[in-house]
Structure 1
Amino acid sequence: MSLTGTPFFITAIVLAVIAVLLPLVLWSRLRGPAFVRGVVRLLMVGFAQVTAVLVVFVAVNNTNNLYDTWADLLGTANHVDKAADLGPDGTGGKKIADLPKVKQTFTPATDSKMGAGVQQTTLDGKVSGVKAEVYVWLPPQYDDPAYRDRTFPVVEVLSGYPGSPKAWFGSLHANDTLGPLMKQGKVAPFILVAPRTNLLPDADTGCANVTGKVNADSWLTVDVRKMVVDNFRASAKASDWALAGYSAGAHCAAKLALAHPDRYSAAVAMNGYNDPAAEPDALTAKDPKLRRENNPLNILKAAPTPPRVSLLFTGKGRDGYRQGLELRDASKPPTYIEARRVDAPHTTPTWQRQVRPVFEWLTRRMEQQTLGQQIPGQQGTGTGA
Structure 2
Amino acid sequence: MSLMSNAFLVTILLGTVLVFAAGVWLWPRLARRSWRAVLGRVGLILTAQVLVLASVGLVANRTFLLYASWGDLFAGQKTEASQQGGDLPGGVAVKVLGRQKPEVPGSAEPRSAGVVEKVMLKGERSRQGGEAYVYLPPEYFQKGNEHRKFPAAVVLTGYPGMAENLVRNLKYPRTAWTLAKEKKMPPTILVMMRPTVVPFNSQCIDIPGGPATETFFGTDLPKTIAGAYRTGTQARDWGIIGDSTGGYCALKMGLQHQETYSVAIGLSADYKPEVDAQSGDLFHGDKKLEKRSDLMTNLEKLPKGKSSFLVTTSLIGESNLKPTREFVEKVKDRANVSSITLDSGGHGFNTWRREIPPAMEWMGARLGK
Q: Give the TM-score, by structure 2 length.
A: 0.84
Aligned AA (2:346): P
Q: Given that residues 108 and 117 in structure 1 are in contact (C-alpha distance below 8 angstroms), is that contact kept between their aligned partners in structure 2?
A: no
* Cα gap change, 1:331 to 1:211, in 2 (>3 Å): same
For residues 1-385 of structure 1, what are the structure 2 equivalents within 5 Å? 1-30=1-30, 34-75=34-75, 76-77=77-78, 79=82, 103-108=93-98, 117-201=115-199, 203-277=200-274, 281-282=278-279, 283-284=281-282, 287=285, 288-298=287-297, 300-303=299-302, 305-316=303-314, 319-333=319-333, 335-342=335-342, 343-366=344-367, 370=369
Deviates more, 1:147-156 or 1:320-329: 320-329
* Cα gap change, 1:349 to 1:163, in 2 (>3 Å): same
Deviation at 1:60, TM superposition (A): 1.8
Deviates more, 1:145-154 or 1:282-291: 282-291
CA offsets, 1:285-327, max 9 Å, x none?
A: 7754323101222253233x22321111112356333333212
Deviates more, 1:8-17 or 1:241-250: 8-17
Q: Given that residues 94 and 224 in structure 2 are in contact (C-alpha distance below 8 angstroms), is that contact kept between their aligned partners in structure 1?
A: yes
**Separation (CA, whole Å) in 2 of partners of 1:291 and 1:238:** 26
* Cα gap change, 1:280 to 1:54, in 2 (>3 Å): closer
Structural RMSD (CA): 3.0
Q: Given that residues 284 and 290 in structure 1 are in contact (C-alpha distance below 8 angstroms), is that contact kept between their aligned partners in structure 2?
A: no
Aligned AA (1:354): E
Aligned AA (1:156): V
**Separation (CA, whole Å) in 1 of partners of 2:276 and 2:13:** 33
**Separation (CA, whole Å) in 2 of partners of 1:239 and 1:196:** 23
* Cα gap change, 1:77 to 1:118, in 2 (>3 Å): farther
Q: Which runs of 5 or more structure 2 residues have no equivalent in the other structure?
A: 104-112
**Separation (CA, whole Å) in 2 of partners of 1:77 and 1:348:** 29
Deviation at 1:103, TM superposition (A): 4.8
Aligned AA (2:148): R
Deviation at 1:188, TM superposition (A): 2.4
Aligned AA (1:236): T
**Separation (CA, whole Å) in 1 of partners of 2:358 and 2:51:** 40
Deviation at 1:131, TM superposition (A): 3.2
Aligned AA (2:154): E
Identity %: 26
* Cα gap change, 1:311 to 1:163, in 2 (>3 Å): same
**Separation (CA, whole Å) in 2 of partners of 1:278 and 1:69:** 22
* Cα gap change, 1:9 to 1:154, in 2 (>3 Å): same
Aligned AA (2:291): R
Deviation at 1:181, TM superposition (A): 3.0
CA offsets, 1:74-132, max 9 Å, x none?
A: 222455599xxxxxxxxxxxxxxxxx98653312169x99x993322222323102132
Q: Which runs of 5 or more structure 1 residues have no equivalent in the other structure?
A: 83-99, 371-385
**Separation (CA, whole Å) in 2 of partners of 1:366 and 1:128:** 26
Aligned AA (2:312): T
* Cα gap change, 1:44 to 1:117, in 2 (>3 Å): farther
Q: Given that residues 164 and 198 in structure 1 are in contact (C-alpha distance below 8 angstroms), is that contact kept between their aligned partners in structure 2?
A: no
Q: Secondary structure of the equivalent of 2:121?
A: strand
Number of aligned pairs?
A: 348
